[in-house]
């Protein structure tokens, strides 16, 4: 198998069960030769309850996957787009499901599992669709999905619940109730709920009797919740959204700092992988093409999830394969959204070129 090796820093992961490695050696991640592991397929069809017609729901692209382990299998919830000839922002996205025994070779569920429908949330979800999921599991086996509702006007971070990863109950925009609705119509995306390793898998974890979620696209904010449905963002002294992690001129994240997979509590730190976009002007990081998406890492204090302990000065994963420097972002894209511990390895799933699903694995 061909391996592409990256030079990554070392992060210690404590609290795993005794039969699991107690560290995550990031310098040994590689991209397996099977990349890309998922691609579009025009043979998959679906009766759209909004259009009232058959659509080829993953004809254009598949990318930006959430990931979780269930019944000793890896489940991917991936974004798909339907119409390759439509303007990029005019396509409808739906979330598909794929299942794997080995974490590399996947079998797709024939129809999408989350999509615009006739529910009360249609005006948030349509016509742009349901995008960019992240998924976590609670201690009692409830799956919680954060995703973007896109109506071609405002992106809204939304919530859905499931017990089987197939049938989902939409709960609506995450910030609908916060501050008397102040942030309902604020652009919001990319929710990374904080988890902790329990019995070898990440499980949603409370801190100080609350659930916590990093979120945001142009900068990273923090929000809390009592019920995983209604979320309240962190505000600054002026009552505006607090920018915990903001773009930095001259670095890999000089244009955008956007949440990646669900955050993970380790030994006294919270690890958040995030996606950085390089600027397209004089603020760009000189060692990357302008506009490139790469993956970085930030560590927060476990007792104070808004307090930053450290942040990488450079990327830890970048586009390297030919198919990763094509598509809508020809400068190159790796956009991480799914991270699982599976068969004694960490599997990091990412969208690439807004066209495929990619994978990096730890040894």
Residues 231-286: tens digit of each pLDDT: 999 999 999 999 999 999 999 999 999 999 999 998 788 999 999 999 999 999 99
Convert the pLDDT of each residue in 70-86 to its tens digit.
999 999 999 999 988 77
Convert the pLDDT of each residue in 104-121 to its tens digit.
999 999 999 999 998 899
Residue 289 has pLDDT above 80, yes or no: yes
- How many Cα atoms sit within 13 Å of 314 on the Cβ side? 9
- Average confidence score pLDDT of the chain: 90
Q: 7 burial class (0-12, 13-18, 19+ CB within 10 angstroms)?
A: exposed
User: How confident is residue 28, by pLDDT bands cut at 50, 70 and 90?
Assistant: low
Percentages helix, strand, coil for the chain (3-state, rounded to 5) are: 5, 45, 50
Report the pLDDT value the prediction gives residue 144, as an integer from 0 to 100: 98
Long-range contacts of 165-169 (CB under 8 A, 24+ apart): 165/68, 165/70, 165/75, 165/77, 165/97, 165/113, 165/135, 166/97, 166/109, 166/113, 167/113, 168/113, 168/114
What does pTM read for this prediction? 0.92
Q: How far apart are the first and last CA of the chain?
A: 13
User: How confident is residue 363, by pLDDT bands cut at 50, 70 and 90?
Assistant: low
Q: Which residues contact 87 (CB under 8 A, 6 or more apart)?
A: none
Q: Which residues contact 102 (CB under 8 A, 6 or more apart)?
A: 343
Convert the pLDDT of each residue in 144-194 to its tens digit.
999 999 999 999 999 999 999 999 999 999 999 999 999 999 999 999 999
Neighbours of 158 (CB within 10 A): 28
**Three-state DSSP class for residue 178:** helix
Q: What are the sequence ranges of the domains in the chain?
A: 10-361
| One-character DSSP codes across 259-280 | E-SPPEE-SSEEEEEEEEE--S
Q: 199 burial class (0-12, 13-18, 19+ CB within 10 angstroms)?
A: exposed
DSSP 212: E
Q: 238 burial class (0-12, 13-18, 19+ CB within 10 angstroms)?
A: exposed
The percentage of residues in the chain with a pLDDT greater than 90, rounded to a whole number, is 80
Q: Is it true that domain 10-361 has CATH number 2.115.10.20? A: yes
CB 226 within 8 A of CB 187: no
To the nearest 10°, the Cα dihedral for 167, 171, 174, 178? Answer: -160
Residue 337 has pLDDT above 60, yes or no: yes
Convert the pLDDT of each residue in 341-358 to its tens digit.
999 889 999 999 889 999
C-alpha gyration radius of the chain? 19
User: How confident is residue 103, by pLDDT bands cut at 50, 70 and 90?
Assistant: very high
Long-range contacts of 279-287 (CB under 8 A, 24+ apart): 279/247, 279/249, 279/254, 279/255, 280/255, 283/249, 283/250, 283/254, 283/255, 284/250, 284/254, 284/255, 285/250, 285/251, 285/252, 285/254, 285/314, 286/250, 287/314
CB 148 within 8 A of CB 117: no
Q: Give how far Cα 107 sits from Cα of 62, 359, 363, Å.
A: 14, 15, 24
């Amino acid at each position: 198998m061909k391996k592409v090796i990256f030079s990554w820093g070392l992060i210690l992961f404590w609290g795993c069960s005794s039969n699991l490695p107690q560290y995550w050696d990031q310098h040994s991640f590689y991209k397996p030769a099977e990349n890309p592991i998922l691609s579009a397929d025009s043979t998959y069809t679906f009766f759209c309850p909004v259009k009232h017609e058959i659509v080829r729901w993953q004809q254009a692209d598949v990318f930006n996957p959430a990931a979780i382990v269930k019944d000793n299998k890896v489940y991917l919830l991936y974004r798909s787009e339907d119409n390759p000839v439509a303007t990029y922002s005019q396509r409808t996205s739906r979330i598909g499901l794929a299942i794997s025994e080995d974490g590399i070779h996947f079998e797709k569920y024939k129809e999408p599992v989350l999509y615009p429908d006739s529910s009360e949330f249609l005006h948030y979800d349509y016509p742009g669709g349901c995008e960019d999921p992240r998924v976590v599991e609670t201690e009692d086996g409830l799956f919680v999905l954060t995703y973007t509702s896109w109506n071609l006007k405002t992106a809204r971070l939304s919530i859905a619940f499931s017990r089987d990863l197939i049938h989902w109950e939409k709960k609506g925009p995450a910030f609908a109730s916060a501050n008397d609705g102040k942030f309902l119509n604020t652009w919001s995306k990319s929710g990374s709920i904080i988890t902790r390793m329990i019995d070898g898998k990440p499980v949603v974890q409370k801190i100080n009797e609350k659930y916590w979620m990093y979120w945001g696209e142009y900068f990273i904010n923090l929000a809390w919740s009592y019920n995983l449905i209604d979320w309240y963002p962190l505000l600054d002294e002026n009552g505006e959204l607090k920018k915990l992690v903001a773009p930095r001129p001259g670095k890999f994240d000089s244009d955008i700092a956007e949440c990646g997979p669900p955050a993970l509590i380790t030994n006294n730190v919270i690890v958040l992988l995030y996606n950085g976009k390089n600027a397209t002007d004089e603020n760009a990081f000189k060692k990357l093409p302008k506009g490139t998406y790469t993956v970085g890492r930030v560590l927060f204090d476990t007792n104070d999830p808004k307090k930053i302990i450290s942040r990488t000065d450079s990327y830890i994963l970048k586009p390297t394969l030919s198919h990763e420097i094509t598509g809508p972002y020809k400068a190159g894209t790796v956009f991480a959204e799914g991270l699982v511990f599976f068969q004694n390895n960490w599997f990091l799933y990412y969208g690439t070129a807004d066209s495929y699903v990619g994978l990096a694995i730890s040894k």
